[in-house]
Amino acid sequence: MATAVHEVTPEEASAHPKLESVVVRFAGDSGDGMQLTGGQFTLSTALAGNDLATFPDFPAEIRAPQGTLFGVSAFQINFGSDDIETAGDQPDVLIAMNPAGLKVNVDQLKAGGLIIADEGEFTERNLAKAKYESNPLTDGSLAKWQLLSFNISQLTLDAVKPFGLGNKEALRCKNMWTLGLALWMFDRDRQPIVDWLKAKFVKAPLLAEANIAALNAGHAYGETAELAGPLKQHHIAAAPAEPGLYRTVTGAEAISLGLVAGAQLAGLPMFFGGYPITPASAILHHLARLKEYQVTTFQAEDEIAAICSAIGASYAGQLGVTSSSGPGIALKGEAMGLAIMTELPLVIVNSQRGGPSTGLPTKTEQSDLYQAVYGRNGDAPMPVLAARSAADCFEVAIEACRIAVQYMTPVMLLTDGYIANAAEPWRVPDMSGFAPFPVKFATEPNAPEGKFLPYQRDEKLARPWAKPGTPGLLHRIGGIEKKNGTGHIDYSPANHQEMTDVRHDKVSGVRVPLQKVELGEEKGRLAIVGWGSTFGPIHQAVRRARRKGQDVAHIHIRHIWPMPANLGALLRNYDQVIVPEMNTGQLKTVLRDQFLVDARPLTKVSGQPFRIAEIEAAIDNALGGQGGGEVDADPTQLPEPASGHDDGTNRGAFSPQSAA
């Protein structure tokens, strides 16, 4: 993912442009470079000052058979001059590089939206691979959309012909031709892409020039073709923003930066032990580039070795960190129990993905909440946090580090595949606004006769942290139950009861901020309660509902365990509580268990994020006298989105419109 940096001046921040936004989806074969194309379009969009949110959607296979339906890769971006909270419900523009890309994505395009298709790829063979019985570009089946098709493949070959590339290499420039056309359509500057291509192919300048030629050719085609109909240029003004330095950031990048910031605020070097797994691997990749901040990265031979190495680093006096996705978190389970029993600080990042076992490696889900809160043997509690967006990952990572070192406990930070891969603008914070939480290691005996008790506790029930080798502080530590205070092995019933209770009380006593209402009143008819990446669609749906006069509020929980002290009383202020989540109702169960509130689930487990319209329909259903029972997010049963603008998903034919 390319990074764009944009300095918002006070003059820009005070401007108030006409509010509008557009959702564009690039789709094609997994070898067509759709993620790269989308990433570079995101870079140019961020430099233009637009607010944005992205949704990379790609297959799990490293290289699926070319032209097949399960090999389709797509990248969606929602950008505009308004606040953008989601990647958009439905695209306004679909750029389809082959029949399979069209087949998989066209039904998500809104009625009247624009299809740009590479007719050069719509051969009989490719149509058969995509399960088309006839050519959709000519048989009238796309009549409810605007269609613009031309031979992008041939136009690319013509553009790069002077460079003497073979057909296969030349066609690899097709994504740059398409990007050039998209840059023209939305009045974007090509120069940042040109600079990026020169840097990327610095050792192969011929390839750089060929890709630049394709980029320029696509741009020139839009400028000079003078096509009638839907191909027009649209300028979308920059979004209003506070003055400051902005950059695009993915969830994985923000977590990496937040972990480093947290270690710095604690005054500790950081050790990261990881094992590659989608979608968590990017955290290891980013941290490996930050060695100058006292960061040590270690790619272990397996998940168990990864977490155990991090526990060892914490025992030695560093901040141990590890990350994985659901299958790897399952493997790390016993070692998490070891960290809880030894009461060492450890940050565990879980980038959730769909399904049990290896499941859906590249699709998003929120189905590890039970695993995070309850998923260890022997009554082993730990604090659990959840980030709401890519940018939010930075602060949540700092909070995880703070809790870990102040309470001497492992902490789990939940994200998901959507947050990890998605990008959005992030205002680079002034770190002077973050209070340091420096660690004080034990250096002296803490008991009579010069003895050291490794499990003597402070007011937080946290034990002292003594580096091994500190003179006079020899102590025992391990994974078998030990006596409270001394740390010596102790199997006695009374001691085990005491140690189980104190571990529980320590985590239950972690002080977390009181729960606030994100949007709406602190009492009313309906509360929509979310966690994690459902923030964007919930917030937009509640905003639209309130504009229609509906009595609904949005509550979003960051501290999953322990929960804020006022949360139960707050939830009881509402007649109804609905919990949208990408699982079968896990947070709903926790809320019912903890607070005895009649929370009802809105569930979705398709591997795709929630649409705003799905949550709007649930609000209408709940407030329309049809409450009761579970609510399923079935897109086939949902009404069309209401009129009015929040994020570019409420328009008819492709034509950016002003906000309501």
Predicted pLDDT of residue 645: 37
Q: What confidence category does residue 60 fall into, taking pLDDT thresholds of 50, 70 and 90? A: confident
Long-range contacts, 169-174 (Cβ 8 Å, 24+)? 169/207, 169/210, 170/210, 172/33, 173/210, 173/211, 173/213, 173/214, 174/32, 174/33, 174/97, 174/118, 174/214
380 within 8 A of 391, measured Cβ to Cβ: no
Which domains does the chain possess? 17-226 (3.40.920.10), 247-433 (3.40.50.970), 440-511 (no CATH), 517-630 (3.40.50.920)
Positive or negative torsion for Cα 401, 406, 411, 414: negative
Q: Is the peptide bond before 59 cis (omega within 30 degrees of 0)?
A: no
Which one has a higher pLDDT value, 58 or 440? 440
Predicted pLDDT of residue 105: 96
115 within 8 A of 88, measured Cβ to Cβ: no
Q: What confidence category does residue 237 fall into, taking pLDDT thresholds of 50, 70 and 90? A: confident
Predicted pLDDT of residue 625: 47
**Is residue 13 scored above 80 in pLDDT?**
no
Q: What confidence category does residue 9 fall into, taking pLDDT thresholds of 50, 70 and 90? A: low
* Of 619, 640, 639, residue with least CA distance to 631: 619
Predicted pLDDT of residue 230: 63
* Of 463, 487, 462, 461, residue with least CA distance to 475: 487
| CA 561 to chain CA centroid, nearest Å | 20
Predicted pLDDT of residue 101: 96
pLDDT 10s digits, 388-417: 999 999 999 999 999 999 999 999 999 999
pLDDT 10s digits, 597-647: 999 999 999 999 999 999 999 999 999 844 444 555 544 333 333 333 344
Predicted pLDDT of residue 5: 66
424 within 8 A of 387, measured Cβ to Cβ: no
**Is residue 658 scored above 50 in pLDDT?**
no
Q: What confidence category does residue 486 fall into, taking pLDDT thresholds of 50, 70 and 90? A: very high
Give percent above pLDDT 70 in the chain: 91
pLDDT 10s digits, 443-472: 999 999 999 999 999 999 999 999 999 999
Which one has a higher pLDDT value, 253 or 627? 253
- Find residue 321's DSSP bridge partners: 272, 347
* Of 467, 464, 447, residue with least CA distance to 455: 464
Average pLDDT over the chain reads 91
